[in-house]
Structure 1
Amino acid sequence: MNALATSVPPLSPAPTTCSRRSQPSSPATPPSPEYADPPLVISPAPDLLATLHRLAELAVLKQELDNASMASQTSKAAVLRVEYETNYRAIEQAISAWEPRLPFGYTLANRIVDGPPDASETDVARARCDAGRALAYKHGALVMLLRLSGAANTGTGTAQVQEAVVRHAQSAIWYCVAASTTAGMQGPGDRSVSGAGLLWPLLLGASEVTEPRDRGMARQAFSAVETAFRGSVNLGRAWELVLEVWRRRDLAAVGDGQCPDPGSTGWRRVADEMGVSLVFG
C-alpha cells in the first residue's frame, strides 16, 4: 500500500492468487463466510492485490520513462514506452474486469451485497465490508491509471478522461463509506483491517472531486472511517491535507494559472509542503 501511495518499488514480492478464497464455490460444499487465510489489507481479494502490486510497479516504470524522455535518451525511452504501454493495457483490463468473490449464496447488485436468507447480520456485514473495501481499491486504482496515462496529469485532460476520473473517484469514496458503515456492525474482534487500509482510495478519491455533493460524500467517508476505526490512523491530518488540495484546486479553477491544479497525484507534494506523513498499510 505504501508503494501505491508513494510510487516507490514494492518491498515485498507480488502475492500469489492461489488461495482458498479464490477457488470457485460448489453448492455441495458451500464455504463458510469466515476466511481461513490471514487477513489482507483488502481481504478477501488476493487476485486484486496481485494486480495492485503490478500497478505500483507500473508507476515506477512510468517515472523511469519520463526521466528517460526528459534526458533525451531516445532509444531507452522507446523501449520503456513499449513496456509501459503493454503493462498499462494489461493492468487496466485486469482491474476493470475484476469483481469481488463473494461467499456462496451472496450476490452483488446495485453496489449492495446481499446474503442468503439464513445468513446472520454479522456475516452479511462482514461480506459487505470486505467487498466495499476491495471495490474502493478497484476504483482508486482506475483513478491512478487514468492519471498515469498522462492525459489528466495536470488536470487539463480531455473531458472524457476527466469525467472518468471523477466517476471512479466518486465510486471509491462511496465504497469507503459502505465499508466503514458495515464495519461498525461487526463485533470488535471481527475487524481484521484498520482504517489505514482505506486511506489510499479515500485520499485519491477525495482529491479529485470538485462538486459540493461529492465533497459532502468525502466528508461523510472520513467521518465514517473515523467512527468505525477510531484510533487506528490519524485521519485528522489526512482530512487537513484533503482540504488543502481542495483549496488549491479551487484557486486553480478561478485563477490566472499561477496556482496549478495538484490533481490526485499532487497531494504528495502538498503533503510534503505541509509536513504531513501518513501511514497507508
Structure 2
Amino acid sequence: MLLYTKFASPKVPKRRSRAGCNFCKEKKKKCDERRPQCARCAEKNLECTYEAVRPRQRRKKDSSQSGLVHSYQQSGGPDYDEWQDGTVAEISESDCFSPVDGKFDALSPMNFSTTSDNPLSPIDGSSTIYDYGIDDDEDHPSFLVRRNSSISVVSQARSLQPDLAMIAPCPVGSPTLEFVLPVFSEFSERPNRRALVDHFCNVLSHLIVFREESGNPFQQLVLPLSHRSSPIMNAIYALASAHMEYRGVETAEKSMYFHNRAIQGLARLIEQEDKVDKIELLAAIMLLVYYEVLVQRGRSSIVDGHLKGALTIMSSSQEESSPASLFLERAFRFYDVITALSLGSAPLSTAPAAGCLIPFPPLDAPAASSLSNVDTLLGMATTLWPIMHRLSNLLSLKNDMDRAARDNQTSKSAVLRMEFESTSQAIETALTQWEPCLPPNVVAEDGVLRSATGEEFPEQLQLQSILHNALAYRHSAFVYLYRTIYGYSARREVVQKHAHFALVHCVETVTHRGPMGALLWPLFVAACEAVSAEDRALAQKAFVGIDQRQGMTNIGQAWKIIQEVWTRLDDMRDDSPEVKDTDIWRKVSAEMGVNIVFG
C-alpha cells in the first residue's frame, strides 16, 4: 500500500441518494439518476427501472425502545427517530453516551460462570496528513471474497513508529481463509479503511495482550466477527484511527465518525433483543470500551455504562461458552476491576473464587509452552486477580461505612466496620502470601528467570517482563491499601517501601521490552507516592517507556497529573495534615477536568 503525503482538501460529506435506480441500489453503487437510463445501466446494456421515493416515516416509540430512548433523550442527544433512520449526519462528543447504559439500569447485579509542558514522548507532535482517497460509497465491509485466489498474502508491519519496531509482525490469519489483493480488501474497498485494519492487526492488537505465540486473539476471535457486523467493523476503524491520531497521523476519516457509526449500530443491535448474536454484541461493546479508554474525553461514565450492559448480557446468556466468549469475559473482568480502582466505585461483577481463573491461551497454543501460565490479558497476575477484585471494592465499602457513621446509624456502621476490617485484613494477608505462578520448568533465581536446566530459552526476556508486571501490581496493591484504604501518610515507611518496589518492577517491565498494556495502573499508583528523587526518576523512566510503546492518551494525561501531585507534595510539610490526604490525585484530575481509566 502506497502512502503519500499531501495537504488534503476538506471532504464534502457524502449522502447516499434514495432515488437511484434499482440496479445501482442492489449493487450499492452511486447512481447518476439519469432518465430513462443511468450511465451504469447504459454501459451494461441493462433495463433501468426506478421505484417511487417514499417519504420517511417516523417510528412509534414502543415500550421495548423506552430504555434506550430515555438514555439518549436524557443525554440531550439527537432525536431518536432521525438518528435511527440515519438522517443525522454527525453526533457530537457530548451525545456519545453508552446505548447500553439506560437499557440495563434496572437489572440485577451480575454474576459469572466458571513539571514540564514538553511532550513526554520524543514523538513529533506535528500532524502528517495521509490522504488515502475515497472513491466509493460503500458503508459496510465487503462480503464478497475471492476464495479461489491462488495468492496468499501475509501482512507485514508498515508505517510503524521507530519505538514500535520491536513488535514483530504476527502472521495474520484471514477470517475468510485467504487474503486477496490488495491486502485487507476483504474488509473494505477503500484504501484508507484497509490501512486502519492493517494498523489494528500489526500495531494495536499486539499492544494489548501478553501472549500470542500461536496467534493474536483479537485477530483470531474478534476480527472475523467484523465481516458480518458493521458495528464491530466501525469500532475497529474508530480504535485504529484514534490511536493513529494520537500519534500525529491524520487519515481521511476521523475516529469520531467511526465511533458514532459504531454507537448507532450497537443501539440497533440492542433493539433486536433476543434475535441478536450475544458474541457480536459483546465484541462491539468491548472494542468501544477500548476506544473510550484510549481517547479519554473526560467522560468515563461511558465506560461504566458499556460495562454494565456487557456484564448483564454475559450473566443472562444461556449459550455454551466458546473461545470468543471466554476471551471477552476475561477482558470485561479486567476492565471492571480497573474501572473500579480508577473511579473509586464498586466493581459491577461479583468477585471470582480463588483458583477459578485459569490462564486463557491463544487458539492452538502448544500445551507444553513456556508461556502456559501466562494469561492472554492478565499475564502472570491471573491468581492475583481475585484479590485485586476484592481490593477494588474496599473504597466503596469504606465510603458506605463513613456515611453511616456521619448519619448516626450506629448498628449499620458497626456491621460495615466489622466487614471492612475483616475484608481489608484478609486482603493484606493474601497480598503478603501471593506469589506469581511460574510456567513449568522455569525457576526464579534472585529475581531472574531461568530454565530448570539453567539454560536460556527464547521467551526469557518476555517472561521476565511479564513477571515484573505482575509484581508491580502486587506492590502497588499494597500502596493502594495503605494510602487509599487505611489512610496512611504518603511519607510513611511502609508506603514508601512498596512504592519504590513497584516502580522498580515497572522500570524492569519497560527495560525488558515485554508487554506493557496493563502497566499504567500500578505505575500511576506508585508514582503518586514517589517522594525521593530516585523514585521520581524511576517513575519518569517508566512513563517514557510505556508512552513510546503504547502511545495512548491516558498515559500522557496520567503523567501530567503525577507532576502536579509531586508539586503539591513538595509544598507540604511532613507534619501538615494535607500529607495524609489520600485523594490528592483525584482532586488534581477533577481540577484538570479529566477522569482517567488506567487500563
With normalisation by structure 1, the TM-score equals: 0.81
Q: Against the structure 1 CA distance between its residues 49 and 243, is the aligned structure 2 distance closer, same or farther, given a 3 Å change threshold?
A: same
Distance 1:66 1:238, change over 3 A: same
Q: Which has the higher helix share?
A: 1
User: Which whole-Å deviations, capped at 9, do the CAs of 1:222-257 have from their partners, x for residues lacking one?
Assistant: 112223x23245322211110100001111127x95
Distance 1:118 1:168, change over 3 A: same
Other structure's SS at 1:100 match? coil
Confirm whether residue 208 of structure 1 aligns to residue 544 of structure 2: no
**For 1:1-281, what aligned pairs fall within 5 Å after superposition?**
1-15=338-352, 17-21=355-359, 31-35=368-372, 39-40=376-377, 42-116=378-452, 117-121=454-458, 123-152=459-488, 155=489, 162-182=492-512, 184=513, 191=515, 194=517, 197-227=518-548, 229-253=549-573, 260-261=578-579, 263=581, 265-281=583-599
Distance 1:137 1:173 in 2: 10
1:266 shift after superposition: 2.4
CA distance in structure 1 between the partners assigned to 2:373 and 2:428 by the alignment: 30
Amino acid corresponding to residue 423 of structure 2 in structure 1: N
Question: Aligned to 1:136, what secondary structure does the other structure show?
Answer: helix
- Deviations, residues 61-87 of structure 1 (Å, cap 9, x unaligned): 111111112222211111111111111
- Letter paired with 1:166: Q
Structure 2: distance between partners of 1:47 and 1:264: 28
Q: Which amino acid aligns with 2:505?
A: Y
CA distance in 2, matches of 1:50, 1:178: 25
Residue 276 of structure 1, CA deviation = 2.5
Give the secondary-structure state (helix, strand or coil) at the position aligned to 2:578. coil
RMSD: 2.6
Letter in 2 for 1:99: E
Structure 2 spans left out of the alignment, 5+ residues: 1-337, 361-366
Q: Could you tell which deviates more after superposition, 141-150 or 61-70?
A: 141-150
The change in CA–CA distance for 1:34 and 1:150 in structure 2 (over 3 A counts) is closer
Structure 1 pair 54–112 and aligned structure 2 pair: CA distance change class (3 A): same
Letter in 2 for 1:92: E
Distance in 1, matches of 2:590 and 2:424, equals 28
Cα distance in 2 for partners of 1:264, 1:223 equals: 26
- Give the number of equivalent residue pairs: 254
Secondary structure (helix, strand or coil) at the match of 1:107 reads strand
Instruction: Tell whether the 8 Å contact from 1:136 to 1:173 is kept in structure 2 after alignment.
Output: yes
Q: CA deviation at 1:18?
A: 3.0
Structure 1 counterpart of 2:499, which letter?
A
Q: What's the offset of the Cα at 1:113? A: 2.9
Q: How far apart are the structure 2 equivalents of 1:101 and 1:144?
A: 23
Q: Secondary structure at the match of 2:449?
A: strand
Residue 8 of structure 1 aligns to a residue whose secondary structure is coil
Q: Which residue of 2 aligns with 1:25?
A: none
Percent identical across equivalent pairs? Answer: 35
Deviation at 1:210, TM superposition (A): 0.9
1:164-198, Cα deviation, whole Å (9 max, x unpaired): 0010011111111111222x2x5xxxx4x62xx11
- C-alpha distance 44-60 of structure 1, shift in aligned 2 (>3 A): same
Q: Which moved more, 1:201-210 or 1:231-240?
A: 231-240
8 Å contact from structure 2 (residues 383, 436) kept in 1: no
CA distance in 2, matches of 1:54, 1:110: 30
Deviation at 1:108, TM superposition (A): 2.5
Question: Distance between the aligned counterparts of 2:527 and 2:447, measured in 1?
Answer: 19
Higher RCO structure (Cα 8 Å, ≥6 apart): 1
The CA distance in 1 between the partners of 2:403 and 2:519, in whole Å, is 31
Q: Which of the pair has more CA radius of gyration?
A: 2
| Deviation of the 1:262 alpha carbon | 7.0
**1:263–1:35 Cα change, 3 Å:** farther
CA contact (8 A) 2:401 2:417 kept: yes
Cα contact 1:204–1:264 (8 A) shared by 2:
no
**Cα offset for 1:263?**
4.9
